[in-house]
Amino acid sequence: MGADPAWLTGLRRWLDAALLHEARRLAAGYRHTPDELHRHFVSDAQVEALLRERNPDAPTETALGLLRERAADLATGVTGGPSPLAELAGAYRLSAAETLVLATVLAPETETSYRRVFGYLNDDLARPLPTIDVLLRLVPGAEVLLDRTSALFASRLLETFPAPGAAHWRAAGLTVAEPVRAHLLSPHAGRDLVGNGVGGTPAEVPGVAPVVEAVRAGVVRAVVVRGATAGESLPAARCFARALGRELVSWHTAGSGSFSDAVTTARLEHAVLYVDVVDARACDESELRWALSQPVVVAVGARAASGTVLPDGVAHVELSVPWSPRSPGTAGRGVLSSVRRPPSVQLVEATYAWDDLVLPEASMRRLRELSAAVEHRDRVLDDWAFRRLSGGSGALRALLTGVSGTGKTMSAAVVAAELGLPLWKVDLSAVVSKYIGETEKNLEEVFAAVEGSRAILMFDEADALFGKRSEISDAHDRYANIEVAYLLQRIESFDGVLLLATNLPGNLDTAFARRIQFEIEFPMPDETARLRLWHRALPPEAPRTADIDVERLAAAFALSGGEIRTVALGAAFLAAYEDRPIAMDHLLRAVARQRRRAGKLPTLKEFGDSLSLVHGEAS
């Protein structure tokens, strides 16, 4: 067997001896029938070989008892110093028997060879997990497992997997819950924690000190947090966690396990559990009641608190933190700094500001209105009670139209940075699948993750997904229409900010168009805008010659902002290759290459006397 974590060495010596002792007891009573299908059979000799490495001598009853006592002392921290298992046993007040049971169930997670051993003891290699029946034979005092109120089950440290065809629950396999496994084997790794960065000092926030004192004194465990509006609770929760000296844990519906896993993580990490309205909608009331029954400090968002999250009898206090997403220290950071994004989603970095945008006045005004709508969404919908008139939805949907390179993604990134929210852009190639139902499954993963992250979600080339439904002439049309119908239903239930970017707005299904609240046009830049774009595309730090005529470039070439940036960068690489400053000929050659990529040849009207200079660039 491979190397164990250092703190498990003594535990493994006992476990191997106990397993070997039980295997020999079984072997003395009957023999398994050898079978040529060796992958479905493990022999007595194989079990001996697997378990004798740490215990060369056959364990006697006395030796086994001593090993068990030493293992119990190690597990509970009596000897050997602190360990993740001993800390967990103390936090959950586990008995020595419960702690040994937990260590035994953890064994197949550390060495896969234990799965064959447990399959042998279960007399069925298709059942490779420790069962209650086996544990009763291995661990004295394991009868605690027969009591479903044991901390191992009541606190959801263990999970059960019923055996096919075996009705009795004692035959069910046991595994360690994922956050417990991660805590024991990889302490402080892979946690899904919400960053605590937020502007301001907690000590300066009125009312935070008495709330912290009440929590530390154990008087209350639930704190209703309220930001500048009812919906801006996350900054307030961060402030509270910082003042308490703890981290903030939030449940994310994608990639983060169940809600109970988030509760367990918060308890193991001594963190504050943040529960908002998205969590409240995704959980049933029994789950939320169970969470509040655990010794975990809970910060409940104000919108969630108005529902069933706080049942009668749960002592709580309110904390208001008058900060908005625009508060110093939050912009550009992303609301949840460690959210796990699906592989089909790209994070768009916030590298631009409003001054970097070159757009018509009408487009800039609509963009700023969109940003303000996101910022004041909870104020309008909740405080002014417009959510009820909107069918209970808080979604904001915007359509960005314009040809490629006119600044749609860049503008979305500026809005996101202004609000301090991450911008997630969907990679259509990773979402759309030829297999029936896979596209909807991939999209659901995206929507669920965004609802847990509070990111702004952007679909580029949205007409590819949100296109018009067609007459059904074959199976392909039928399933394509099903996808569009799913998207219609899903954006109705989506409670976040959705941006659809397209250069073919006429191809969108009219049902989507009716659901759009903002439509922002990104036209091709005129000559005045192109001149500004050319000036910004050439950094002042870049060496250049005096012959560069940006006025001529702006007047002669009808390029988009994206194309201008591409041309400027291409000219810079040409100049660096020739080891000289950027000159007009570099820019003209780069323009010719760009035109060729667009399927257009240089013309005398555009290039004039320079046509011969760039002739080879387009060949």
Sorted by where each begins, the domain ranges of the chain are 6-185, 193-320, 345-521, 527-618
Burial environment of residue 549 by CB neighbours within 10 A (0 to 12, 13 to 18, 19 or more): middle
User: If pLDDT is split at 50, 70 and 90, which confidence band does 342 have?
Assistant: confident
Q: Give the span between the Cα atoms of 351 and 162, in whole angstroms.
A: 52
CA distances from 123 to 52, 103, 113, 445 (A): 20, 22, 16, 39
Q: If you search the block for the tokens 């059942």, which residue do you land on?
A: 127
Phi, psi of 502, deg, nearest 5? -155, 150
Which pair of structure tokens corresponds to residue 555? 């007047």
Q: If you search the block for the tokens 């011969």, which residue do you land on?
A: 612
Reported pTM? 0.52
Strand ranges for 234-387 from DSSP E = 248-250, 272-275, 298-301, 316-320, 345-348
Most confident of 76-80, 141-145, 394-398, 484-488: 394-398
Instruction: Specify the pLDDT at position 474.
Output: 44
Q: Do domains 193-320 and 345-521 have the same CATH topology?
A: yes
Instruction: Specify the pLDDT at position 520.
Output: 93
Kindly report, residue by residue over 280-320, the tens digit of the pLDDT. 666 666 777 777 777 788 877 766 665 555 655 556 666 66
Which range, of 68-72, 177-181, 365-369, averages the lowest pLDDT? 68-72
Phi, psi of 471, deg, nearest 5? -65, 140
Angle at alpha carbon of residue 31, lines to 27 and 35, rounded to 5°: 130
Kindly report, residue by residue over 219-243, the tens digit of the pLDDT. 777 777 766 544 456 767 777 888 8
Half-sphere exposure of 518 (CA within 13 A, CB side): 25
Kindly report, residue by residue over 98-124, the tens digit of the pLDDT. 888 888 888 888 787 778 777 877 777
Most confident of 39-48, 52-61, 176-185, 437-446: 176-185
Transcribe 376-417 into DSSP letters: THHIIIIIS--TGGGTT---EEEEEE--TTSSHHHHHHHHHH
Which of 414, 406, 415, 403 minimizes the C-alpha distance to 533? Answer: 406
What is the arrangement of strands in the sheet containing 396-401, beginning at the earlier edge strand?
345-348, 423-426, 456-459, 497-502, 396-401, 518-521
- Residue 459 belongs to what H/E stretch? strand 456-459
Domain 345-521: which CATH number of 3.40.50.2300, 3.40.50.300, 2.40.50.140, 1.20.120.160? 3.40.50.300
* Assigned CATH topology for domain 193-320: Rossmann fold (3.40.50)
| Cβ atoms < 10 Å from Cβ of 375 | 20
Please state which CATH number belongs to domain 527-618: 1.10.8.60
Identify the three-state secondary structure at position 346: strand
Q: Give the span between the Cα atoms of 322 and 496, in whole angstroms.
A: 22
Strands 345-348 and 193-194: unpaired
Strand ranges for 137-296 from DSSP E = 158-161, 173-176, 193-194, 222-226, 248-250, 272-275
Q: If you search the block for the tokens 């940036």, which residue do you land on?
A: 565
Which of 68, 66, 55 minimizes the C-alpha distance to 24? Answer: 55
Q: Give the span between the Cα atoms of 180 and 91, in whole angstroms.
A: 12
Q: Give the span between the Cα atoms of 265 and 251, in whole angstroms.
A: 10
